[in-house]
Amino acid sequence: MNQRSTKEIYYADYLQLERLLSAQTPESRRHGREAHDEMLFIITHQAYEIWFKQILHELESVLGAFAVTPLDEHSMGVIVARLERVIAIQKVLNQQIDVLETITPLDFLDFRDYLIPASGFQSVQFREIELRLGLGVHVPQPVTGRLRSEDVAYLREIASEPSLFEQVDAWLARMPFLKFEGYDFWESYRQAVMAMLAKDRRSIETNPLFSDAERSAQLAELENTRRKFDYLLDPAGFERLKAQGMFHLCQTSVLSALFIQLYRDEPILHLPFRLLSHLMDIDEQFTTWRSRHALMAQRMLGSKIGTGGSSGHEYLQETVDKKRIFKDLFNLSTFLIPRSSLPALPKRLKQSLDFHFTGERCS
């Protein structure tokens, strides 16, 4: 009989509960004025860090699957399932704020000063999640002096590795949907867009409810939209959209993502569509957390500075929109057109859509 199977596993040993449950030491106790609520504060943070570990575990496997080029078709289902798990965990993380908010601002003050200068600022796992997702691509991530030198070195190493954002960019850029045996999909799309905009123009021009000023404003807005469509399809124009911060992905990737969104009913595009939706969910859950955390900090601290020395709520509120990672995919909705206006795909193109995404990487 196998030697290992004879050893009985004991619940507490397997989970190392002795270590885990002896790792909560309130600072207020050390100072001889134990604050009841500090235990909840510690346990909530620890629960966050444990979930961060699981998120990183999932992200690392997703990044590993993307690192194989061309992407193994079989891994797509696993990637999508792992990202779904990340989203489910993020929902739990957002709910945990409810538990934390049972600490009242006055009770928080019983132990807050003992924590200085420690802060969530110094959560290395949180920074790693940001970097793994691709935040460094959008906002240069200063690895701050508030971290220990070994943590700074570790995060620099993570920052030098390809992030999920970059891998998705490369994967989208390799998709073969842009031109197909003489059929230029994007030319058909351009014509469909122009027809749609012309219809919109007619309805603005003939709408009796608009005053002259309103009509001019609507027409100017329509012209603005038309210009954006032009920019999207033109390499030089696209650089303008990038300069405006609308996109960080390369043009071929944006067009592939748009194609997936538009034709997501094609069976072969179901998984890519779910993948893109999950990236938006991850971004949305993260943004929700940042926003709720900023509000919670304001509720606890008002306009006091944070224990880590930032301006507190003001700093956190700024990060809510600044630290979006997959906002490109949200901005893409600008370019969706109704199903009824979509160009029908030639039969051979429909048949040949496949997961063999090979070809050029984006520059």
List residues binding ligand HEM (CB under 6 A).
44-45, 48, 100, 103, 108, 119-121, 123, 126, 293, 296-297, 300-301, 306-310, 312, 315-316, 319
Measured from the CB of residue 117, what is the shortest distance to ligand HEM in angstroms?
8
Measured from the CB of residue 134, what is the shortest distance to ligand HEM in angstroms?
15
Q: List beta partners, residue 179.
A: 184
CB distance 293 to 44 below 8 Å: no
Helix/strand/coil (H/E/C) assignment for every residue in the chain: CCHHHHCCCCHHHHCCHHHHHCCCCCHHHHCCCCCCCHHHHHHHHHHHHHHHHHHHHHHHHHHHHHCCCCCCCCHHHHHHHHHHHHHHHHHHHHHHHHHHCCCCHHHHHCCHHHHCCCCHHHCHHHHHHHHHHCHHHHCCCCCCCCCCHHHHHHHHHHHCCCCHHHHHHHHHHCCCCCEECCEEHHHHHHHHHHHHHHHHHHHHHHCCCCCHHHHHHHHHHHHHHHHHHHHHHCHHHHHHHHHCCCCCCCHHHHHHHHHHHHCCCCHHHHHHHHHHHHHHHHHHHHHHHHHHHHHHHHHHHCCCCCCCCCCCHHHHHHHHHHCCCCHHHHHHHHHCCCHHHCCCCCHHHHHHCCCCCCCCCCC
Measured from the CB of residue 252, what is the shortest distance to ligand HEM in angstroms?
31
Q: Which is nearer to ligand HEM, 117 or 235 (CB)?
A: 117
Measured from the CB of residue 33, what is the shortest distance to ligand HEM in angstroms?
18
Q: Which is nearer to ligand HEM, 280 or 301 (CB)?
A: 301
Q: Which is nearer to ligand HEM, 48 or 238 (CB)?
A: 48
Measured from the CB of residue 287, what is the shortest distance to ligand HEM in angstroms?
11
- Separation between Cα atoms, residue 247 and residue 243, nearest integer Å: 8
Q: Which is nearer to ligand HEM, 75 or 96 (CB)?
A: 96
Q: Which is nearer to ligand HEM, 176 or 308 (CB)?
A: 308
Measured from the CB of residue 171, what is the shortest distance to ligand HEM in angstroms?
27
Q: Which is nearer to ligand HEM, 163 or 310 (CB)?
A: 310
Measured from the CB of residue 289, what is the shortest distance to ligand HEM in angstroms?
9
Q: Which is nearer to ligand HEM, 225 or 287 (CB)?
A: 287
Q: Which is nearer to ligand HEM, 179 or 322 (CB)?
A: 322
Measured from the CB of residue 291, what is the shortest distance to ligand HEM in angstroms?
12
